[in-house]
Structure 1
Amino acid sequence: MSVSATDTPAAQATLRTTTGREAARWVAAHCREVPWLTATAILTTVAGAALQVLPLLLLGRVVDAVVAGGPRSVLVTTGVWMAAAALLGAAATALSTYLVGRLGADLLARLREGAVRAVLAMPSARIEQVGRGDVLSRVGDDVAVLSRGIRTAVPTVFSAGVLVVIATLGMFGLDWRLGLAGAGALPAYAFALRWYLPRSAPLYKQQRAVQADRAQALISGLNGIDTVRAYRLEGAVREKVTTESWRVRELGIEVFRLFGRFVGRENRAEFIGLVLIIVVGYALLEADAATLGEVSAAPLLFHRLFTPLGSIMFTFDEAQKSGASLTRLVGVLGEDAEDRLVGTPADAPAADAPYPVAVKGLTFSYPGTEQPVLQDVDLAIPAGGSLALVGATGAGKSTLAALIAGIGTPQAGSVRIGGTDLAGLDEAGARALVSILTQETHVFSGPLADDLRLAAPQATDAELADALRTVGADGWVDALPAGLHTPVGEGGERLDVTKVAQIALARLLLARSPVVVLDESTAEAGSEGAAELERAVLAACAGRTTLFVAHRLTQAMAADRIAVLDAGRVVEHGTHKELVALGGRYAQLWRAWREGSQDTAWARPTRSRAGDPRTPKGR
């Protein structure tokens, strides 16, 4: 089910975003589930950092040996130890990077699976409320950002942070006064972070949210491209996408500018620390309170901090993005399930029996908006009859279709299937009465039979074959290497859009619900196999009460009656001929549709062909 961008409010609710503390608790809890991997990653990181610092400490010993006139063998021995430490340190660092990455990948896999599971378990109304852009950006973009961060930023920041601690302890090991001098830079670092973090974290969260809004604008415009072209709304959709894209751009510039100021503060902190160490070291030498080797090693140790600190700074941007994505993904796991009454009607209709639909006084508003999307809508579809909903984009067609399918709860009025009010059912109960089919059809990886049994788990192979035959898919299915048991989808047979639509229609048949709602379900009718697809739709809906959301007005002509929505109200109702003769809103839409179809056909001549149901009469 897809609600157009203009059907949804400008300021939508979004999925939950958790706090950084809660996200950290989630990570810590999952690290405890793999204690050996976690402990080994930490130990190898500490060992690698210590081995990187050891050569600098040994270099101080070399200086003192030279000053004291020690034997040359000290240089050889110390050189061997320094080389061994460098090699072992490199090996330990590489191992720790691998282990941290493996630990992160394991956590990401659990998080990704949990987030997808949580999204699939959400009520459809919740998905419609927040918008698919927010949902897709979390299970898509946020997962990608976090995956990139786990491969690069997280191991770098963790190992660099450990190295900073070890190098600081090494300075204290040389002389506590040198250690204090180096630590004198810490307040400057702390002030820089204290200035940066409160400003950057909200910006990154806002950036992810704005990217979700842009995704929603793009998806809505692309899904309804034929409607947009027919009703000449290209400018409005383009303006919305442009506006959202500029918001993403402006936030990106602001984030980069803020990070540049943070780098400047970090450089000042390094300057302060290095000056303090040199001044204190010189004073200690003058007072004969420290050796030349110790004083020489201290600046080198502090300078050794520059590389890890620089790595932290230059990857902190990616780490912040990863942290923002982590809070959004963990937030999805905490989404509360919608509380609804559970149960199916006691007088559930027979499998193939048609059932009337009655909509009375239906009013619906999205959360956070005052203007209703639907206002006092009354509709009736007789048992076995069909009704087409038409209207300009934003009229409320998809929203009304969703409510009739049991997705969402109106603020006033009711939707009754026979004698059953959908408000008293959970989604399983609603699906027993109503099936909804949109253009967003999917083929899941695995045998074709398993894909079809998503709608009817107990269906036999014979029943699957009968459903495929009804929608005209038996020919190409029989030609598959293993027939019904041929793997399809990712890693299997690649199916074109017409075949995918036929599979969706076969699922619709297998579900056996007495009422069906089709929202832009034949969006690919202009492609190869258009006529077969239209016939498959009619075959799948035969004998069932049907609601069409007619994004192409030629679909409306096939329905028994047509209801015209305008600004959330039913303004006209009748047959196609009656409404055209009336000369009202439907007649205007029909003229606009014919002109839009002609323009589209001239722009894309390969999609207008004999038998294409979108080709206007008289062409």
Structure 2
Amino acid sequence: MIGVAPPAYDPAAPTTAHTLPVGAPATVRAYVGELFRRHRRAFLLLIMVNTVAVVASMVGPYLLGGLVERVSENADELHLRRTLALFVVALLVQAVFVRQLRLRGAVLGERMLADLREDFLVRSVGLPPGVLERAGTGDLLSRITTDIDRLANAMREAVPQLAIGVVWAALLIGGLVVTAPPLAPAVLLAVPLLVVGCRWYFRRAPSAYRSEAAGYAAVAAALAETVDAGRTVEAHRLGGRRVELSELRVRQWTAWERYTLWLRSVLFPVVNLTHTTVLCSVLMVGGVLALNGWIDVGQLTTGALIAQMLVEPVGLILRWYDELQVAQVSLARLVGVRDIEPDAGDGALTPAGRDIRADRVRFGYREGVDVLHQVSLSVAPGTRVALVGPSGAGKSTLGRLLAGIYAPREGAITLGGAELSRMPAERVRSHVALVNQEHHVFVGSLRDNLLLARTDARDAELWAALGAVDADAWARALAEGLDTEVGSGGFALTPAQAQQIALARLVLADPHTLVLDEATSLLDPRAARHLERSLARVLEGRTVVAIAHRLHTAHDADVIAVVENGRISELGSHDDLVAANGAYAALWRSWHG
């Protein structure tokens, strides 16, 4: 059988993008086994119901074979009434159990799909933040939307139907062996054709479906990036280039779609030919056996009907097994997060103090390309440190390292002598918090949004936190106060109000060390200055590492670290650095006039 080559590799395809891993076969098998163990009772009940339905379906061919045999022998009594009554009873039993089969199969599929969604969400939320940041939104969104949608059909129907088809085919073959043993080998004549066709198909299908899924993820990533950076694209007139990139990704994806469709267009005619071969072989072999008196006409009739009935379960198995090829790829992408080592850290590590130290730290987002080079910094408890410097110098990266979001490639970041990268994420968050210009308001009440930081906080504490960030005035003006619905579909918050909610969460969380990365960037300079002064009262006695381009933040800091080209070039107080007439002094003069 001559095949076509898969779509050629396109050198323009992304090769350096960080994505979440795809689950190894062992991981997928382990997860499937886990699902079966969770729902083993439902599976056993499904098989039992299926068995009764299949046995009831074979009563008709058996009765018809007996009737044909009596007619061929010119029997005096055909027992038509008894035969008809038994056939009606068998038909009713089959109808009842088929209904139960479909119902229980659908319920089982929905339960497994719910488990899968919950497992993926729980595991994704528990991933180290750095892993998700590197993967980006496109890959994650394509998994939780497209892959879940593809798995929905498989979980609801493919898995139950495949189990039904296997049991159905096995019982029919068993029934053929019992009722007409000489005809059973005739069914095997079609097996080589089916094996060759399926082997050809299934050797190509898995990799093709994986490439198809990856192609769609690339499309989603390109579109999400373009939408997220819409203003930048428009400002720099990059619309044409982004459209070209999106069209390229769509062409690559549709090429794999056409290839997988072509694979199916070869498989299905082979399956139809197999069905015809089974029926013809049974009739021809059975005819020879009947003419020679080795089987009777009734056995030939029963065998031919059972062979014809085999068409449906075999087609069912192949159809849903093909569906599972698509689902297997999506499942591998969803359970791939299980191959990422959990951010468990060393539970025995407990900070012996509140001082933070960076010791000869190197870090880069890509292999062999460092963003930070041999950076050392010591932050004493209660100190306010400002990280300043030009854009792209590494300020935000250093801040994320100090907050425990990333682990250094070389060197160490310690809190009270304990390495942050070896501590459990929950323990790190109880000591150090990062607040940046990115914030999110969840759909729900204002109270629920604040309680995310501390679930046991009382209303008085919530109002105090809002007051600390100058948000209590507009919050008290809301129609329902803390019970006002905010977020999509609720009260529309301005960017500044949403940022104040994020800062109020910070007040409630009450960590002893804060990393503020442009935390007031969405406020106008006067409002930002006022908010920072109000927040300063709340932050009294805490360690603060502030990353900002507004140099008034640096002016108020105890220590200023000037970051240039991934290195700390200057370190000292505002007055000392201005007097030194170096890089900071130049920045101060250009900003202050």
After TM superposition, the score normalised by the length of structure 2 is 0.78
- The 8 Å contact of residues 452 and 506 in structure 1, kept in 2 or not, is answered as yes
Distance 1:348 1:276, change over 3 A: same
- The aligned residue for residue 61 of structure 1 is 66
How far the C-alpha of 1:448 sits from its partner, in A, is 4.2
Q: What residue is the counterpart of 1:348 in the other structure?
A: 354
Aligned to 1:443: 442
1:257 alignment partner in structure 2:
262
Matched with 2:516 is 517
Match of 2:24 in 1: 18
Q: In the TM superposition, what is the alpha-carbon distance from 1:407 to its structure 2 partner? A: 1.2
Question: CA separation in 2, counterparts of 1:387 and 1:230?
Answer: 28
* Counterpart for residue 508 of structure 1: 506
Are the equivalent residues in 1 in contact too, given 2:345–2:424 (CA < 8 A)? yes
The match for 2:276 is 271
Trace 1:46-445 onto structure 2 (pairs within 5 A): 46-70=51-75, 74-338=79-343, 340-341=345-346, 343=349, 345-348=351-354, 362-366=361-365, 369-375=367-373, 383-384=383-384, 386-387=386-387, 391=391, 399-412=397-410, 422=420, 426-428=424-426, 430-431=428-429, 432-443=431-442
Q: Which amino acid aligns with 1:142?
A: D
SS of 1:515's equivalent? Answer: strand
Q: Distance in 1 between matches of 2:246 and 2:547?
A: 28
CA contact (8 A) 2:388 2:563 kept: no
AA at the equivalent of 1:18: A
Q: How far off is 1:145 after superposition?
A: 2.3
Across the aligned residues of Structure 1 and Structure 2, the Cα RMSD in angstroms comes to 4.2
Q: Is the 8 A contact 2:17 2:135 kept in 1?
A: no
Task: State the distance in 1 between where 2:277 and 2:190 align.
Answer: 6
1:596 — aligned with what? none
| Distance verdict in 2 for CA 1:440–1:169, change over 3 Å | farther
Structure 2 vs 1, CA of residues 532 and 560 (structure 1 numbering), >3 Å: closer, same or farther? closer
For this pair of structures, how many residues does the alignment match? 552
TM-score between the two structures when normalised by the length of structure 1: 0.75
Residue number in structure 1 paired with 2:36: 31
User: Does the 8 Å CA contact 1:506/1:540 hold for their aligned counterparts?
Assistant: no
1:176 and 1:565, CA in 2 relative to 1: closer, same or farther beyond 3 A? farther
Q: CA deviation at 1:280?
A: 0.3
Contact 2:466/2:501, CA 8 A, preserved across alignment: yes
Residues 323 and 536 of structure 1: is their aligned pair in 2 closer, same or farther, counting only changes over 3 Å? Answer: farther
CA distance in 2, matches of 1:412, 1:113: 36
Contact kept? 2:70, 2:78, Cα under 8 Å: no
Q: Name the CA distance, whole Å, in 2 between partners of 1:222 and 1:389.
A: 29
1:260-304 Cα offsets, whole Å, 9 max, x none, are 222232233223322311210221122122222332333332222
What's the CA shift for 1:174?
Answer: 3.0
Q: Are the structure 2 counterparts of residues 519 and 420 from structure 1 closer, same or farther at C-alpha, using a change threshold of 3 Å?
A: farther
Q: Tell me, what secondary structure is at the counterpart of 1:185?
A: helix
Match of 1:484 in 2: 482
1:465 Cα offset (Å) = 0.5
Letter aligned with residue 438 of structure 2: Q
User: 1:107, CA displacement in angstroms?
Assistant: 2.7
Q: Is the 8 A contact 1:386 1:546 kept in 2?
A: yes
Report the counterpart of residue 49 of structure 2 in structure 1. Answer: 44
- Quote how far apart the aligned CAs of 1:62 are: 2.6
Write the deviation string for residues 102-150 of structure 1: whole angstroms up to 9, x where unpaired: 2232233333322222222222223234444444444443333222212
Say whether the 8 Å CA contact 2:443–2:485 is kept in structure 1.
Answer: no
Change (3 A) 1:438 1:145: farther
Q: 1:461 is matched by which residue type in structure 2?
A: D
CA distance in 2, matches of 1:418, 1:160: 62
SS in 2 for 1:15: coil
Whole-Å separation in 2 of the counterparts to 1:533 and 1:56: 85
| Alpha-carbon distance change, 130 to 522 in structure 1, aligned in 2, over 3 angstroms | same
Contact kept, 8 Å, 2:194 with 2:271, in 1: the verdict is: yes
Unpaired stretches in structure 2, ≥5 consecutive residues: 1-13, 570-582
Name the structure 1 match of 2:451.
453
What is the alpha-carbon distance in structure 1 between the residues aligned to residue 378 and residue 222 of structure 2?
Answer: 33
The 3-state SS of whatever aligns with 1:152 is helix
1:462 aligns with 2:467: no
Partner of 1:606: none
Tell me the CA shift for residue 235 of structure 1: 4.8
Flag the 1:176–1:478 CA change in 2: closer, same or farther, 3 A.
same
| 2-structure distance, mates of 1:521, 1:242 | 38
- The share of aligned pairs that are identical, in percent, is 27
Does the 8 Å contact 2:186/2:285 carry over to 1? yes
How far apart are the structure 2 equivalents of 1:9 and 1:206?
Answer: 13
1:405 touches 1:434 (CA, 8 Å); kept in 2? yes
Deviations 1:233-263 (A, max 9, x none): 4455444444433332222222211222222
Deviations 1:162-213 (A, max 9, x none): 2222222232233222111012222322232222223222333333344334
* 2:579 aligned residue: none
Which letter maps to 2:205? S
1:546 Cα offset (Å): 5.4
